[in-house]
Amino acid sequence: MRRLLIVTALLELGAGAALLALPSRTVLLLLGEPLDAPAAVAVGRVGGSALLALAVACWLASYDAQSCAARGVVSAMVLYNLGATLVLGLAGTRLQPVGIGLWPAVALHAAMTVWCVAALLRKSSQVIAKPI
């Protein structure tokens, strides 16, 4: 689970920094349209801050990857990655044209969802297998 947490931290650090520094260009790469309204740019930056917070949580959890807290972080990342897969995938089917980064982002979030679920299932099977 440690490798998963480190990879997640690095990915979210990159995405969060991009949204925080260049929200309009980042959204342009994903959705094919820039953020034009000042309110939309502000919301994009809030999203970037949230991704940076997830990156920090994942990084710190990686130091004790066997803890309940790390398991909680990975569980939260399942919800985030599944939600991102669905929201971005739906946007890709409704918006035309889409940005060059949309479908790779959908695939990445789907893969991260599977990895997180697999890590949680692997951990729970290890807990069940322990002798009392």
Q: pLDDT-derived band of residue 124, with 50, 70 and 90 as boundaries?
A: low
Length of the chain: 132
Domain map (residue ranges) of the chain: 2-129
**Structural element, H or E, at residue 95:** none
How high is the pLDDT of residue 95? 83
If you search the block for the tokens 């918006």, which residue do you land on? 95
Q: What is the pLDDT, as a whole number, of residue 125?
A: 60
pTM of the model: 0.87
- pLDDT > 90: what percent of the chain? 88
Q: What is the pLDDT of residues 50-100, one digit of tens each?
A: 999 999 999 999 999 999 999 999 999 999 999 999 999 999 999 888 899
What is the DSSP track for 18-77? HHHH-HHHHHHHHHSS---SHHHHHHHHHHHHHHHHHHHHHHHHGGGTTSHHHHHHHHHH
